[in-house]
Homo-oligomer: A and B are copies of this chain.
Amino acid sequence: MARQDKRENIVLSAMTLIAEHGFHGASMSMIAEKAGVGIGTIYRYFESRDALIRTMYKEKEDRLVTLLLADYPIERPVRECFFHIGTGVIDYFIHNPLDFRYTEQFHNSPYGVEHRRNRIFASADKPDIFIDLYERGTAQQVIRDMPMVVFFNLAFAPIIWTIRDHVLGFLNLDALLSRKLVESCWDSVKI
């Protein structure tokens, strides 16, 4: 097995196990077995279990952001950017349910609290399309007056929860319903 394949196998196995059974249903030996490598091999690619978990998250997050930025209509109205992000997030996660479930596991764990804290309090240093959206919306008075965190929650919490229900098989989030959902979210933040 080639070196790159080996790393990918490890990541895919870890992602699958954690996505389906949580962090505690994915021991290093289970990950190794599923990946078809020895336990020790994992430690040649990742310093520790912790590093594996964080690196995988970082890679997935970067991938989503890159995708969203690829055709981001930065010059267009706030509303259009809002829809771009909303439908983009849904599209990405519907087609990558494993990524979604892994991301959820990550967010709903001590890792997530730490990640969120950094996101909220130490975000001024690098550009961020979400923050840009909030600031432009506020400046142009197209979105209501509320803290950024609340805007973010109104905009994305229903989307994330509904993707979760789709991924778990509780409903079918098709294109029509996606549009309705994002529209509803927009209606909750627009003036």
Contact = CB atoms under 8 A, between A and B. Distances in A.
A104 B180 CA distance: 27
B149 A158 contact: no
Closest 4 CB pairs of A and B: A108-B108, A157-B157, A188-B188, A153-B161
B109 A154 contact: no
Per DSSP, chain A at the interface is helix
Interface string A104-130: 100011100100110010000000000
A87 interface: no
Given A154-B184, A157-B157, A157-B161, 12 more contacts: A108-B108, A108-B109, A120-B165, A120-B170, A144-B180, A146-B180, A150-B180, A153-B158, A153-B161, A154-B185, A158-B158, A187-B188
Question: How many copies of this chain does the complex contain?
Answer: 2
Contacts of A22: 109-110
A69 interface: no
A171 interface: yes
Interface of A: 21-22, 24-25, 104, 108-110, 113, 116-117, 120, 144, 146-147, 149-150, 153-154, 157-158, 160-162, 165, 168, 170-171, 177, 180-181, 184-185, 187-189
